[in-house]
Chains A and B, each alone.
Chain A
Amino acid sequence: MKKLRLFFLAFILLALILQSTVVDLFRVYNIKPDLVLLVVIFLGFMYGKRDGMLAGFLGGLFSDLAAGSYIGLNIMSYLAAGYLAGMGENNFYKDNVFVASVICVIGTLLSQLVYYLLLLFLIVDVPVLHGIKIIVGVALYNGFLTLILYRWFYMFFVSKGYLKDVDV
């Protein structure tokens, strides 16, 4: 189990390194995907609410430390997404890429919405239309990336023997 958590940590850190460096090159209409959130949602969907929240906490904490301000903002938004994705663990087929993609879109929508609401609370000026553009844009981008990356991610954990319920 410890090794599994190390994999969690490794994937989150890898996603964060890419997110804070090269991902900016892949902006579409000024929106970039959120790779850390993607990993959090994948892990939540594959391992359940508890592990989803653990991944959300770690991903959020490291993202906040990398951003250098408002420590807790990403923790809260990723926690919500990890928990939501974890709710799908026992209710859907985990090997289905399209189901994972829908979960990812919904999880990202929730996470970005929490982020937006917290920004309003912090009195950061975000016009509503811009907020909606980011929330929906990131959700769609992440949903699209899930179609490409989820299968590979899922098979990695299956091949290592770390999936509780192998549906393949």
Chain B
Amino acid sequence: MSDNYKKILIVAIVITLAIFMIRATHLEREITVPEIAFKYIFTPFQMAVVAIENAGKSGISFLISLKDLAEENKKLKEEVRQLRSELAKMEEYKIQNKRLKELLQYKEFTIDNYDLISAGVIGRNPSNWFSTITINRGMQDGIKPNMTVLVPEGLVGRVVIVHSNTAKVLLITDPRMGVGAVVQQTRLPGVVRGVTGSCERLKMLHLPKDTQIKRNQVVVTSGLGGVYPKGIRIGRILKAYNDPSGLFQIAEVEPFVDFKRLEYVFVVTEVYNPEINLLEGME
């Protein structure tokens, strides 16, 4: 056998093996020992970088405040400048406090209906093609696969892989994700799917063709399928058009959640009242 044939054979074998491995390692399966080991080693580094990232964000806003203050304080003495700087710091704390209060209020509001655990986002999917995040809560905190993940603005996704201290969350913007949903005003059912490479758009599929869909109508979870509690806000409709088969309509949906800036999320560990409508509650 010539060298060229040998090379082609080796490449063919490698590709075939790789394809088998890729197919066998889909998202919802038992995780293997090497994956657990990698996670153990890799996660502390991710957490460190995220901590620096968050400190950097606070630092930048602090610096911006300082710059504004410097302009105001041209006529003032060093002492006053110091005080102003303290004020800027306080302002930052105030904003942080307000945000945490909102989260707390949300938690209190949902306390009769859900049991929630707050979690910090410590990692994101490295590729442009899929949308997953890693959170700093895992098996030890009672997290299990298929638990719903949300923020006060709306639905984030569901837990797919759980490690001892971390968990992987499949976002609703991932193309592999499907969420049973209804248009809140008209109760039209459909399935919300992620769009590859876009964290700002979703598609609502299988909407009946003979119904009118309007801009700004709100899409919420339907509760069908048993994974997500009913009534969690997903997004608002931007436009609708016929699907290629001509039998249904597809609606373009803008999610309420800003997926680029997710820092904290809630994991629903228990649902007491599956009939709750969070939209009504929040308003």
Q: Which residues of A contact B (CB under 8 A)?
A: 13, 16-25, 27, 30-32, 34, 36, 62-76, 115-116, 118-119, 121-122, 124-127, 130-131, 133-134, 137-138
Contacts and interface: CB of A to CB of B under 8 A. Distances in A.
Given A17-B46, A127-B195, A131-B196, A71 B27 contact: no
B197 interface: yes
Contacts of B124: 20-21, 23-24
Interface of A: prevailing SS:
helix
Nearest to B20: A72
Contacts, number: 127
Contacts of A70: 22, 25-27
Contacts of B83: none
A82 B137 CA distance: 36
B47 to A, nearest CB: 9
A21 B27 CA distance: 20
Given A63-B127, A69-B27, A72-B18, A126 B49 contact: no
A110 to B, nearest CB: 15
28 contacts: A16-B126, A17-B42, A17-B46, A17-B49, A20-B123, A20-B125, A20-B126, A21-B46, A21-B53, A21-B123, A23-B126, A27-B260, A63-B127, A64-B25, A65-B39, A65-B42, A68-B161, A71-B22, A71-B25, A72-B19, A115-B127, A118-B22, A122-B22, A125-B193, A125-B196, A126-B196, A130-B198, A131-B196
A122 B35 CA distance: 21
Interface of B: prevailing SS:
mixed
Interface residues of B, number: 44
A71 to B, nearest CB: 4
Contacts of B39: 65
B15 A66 contact: no
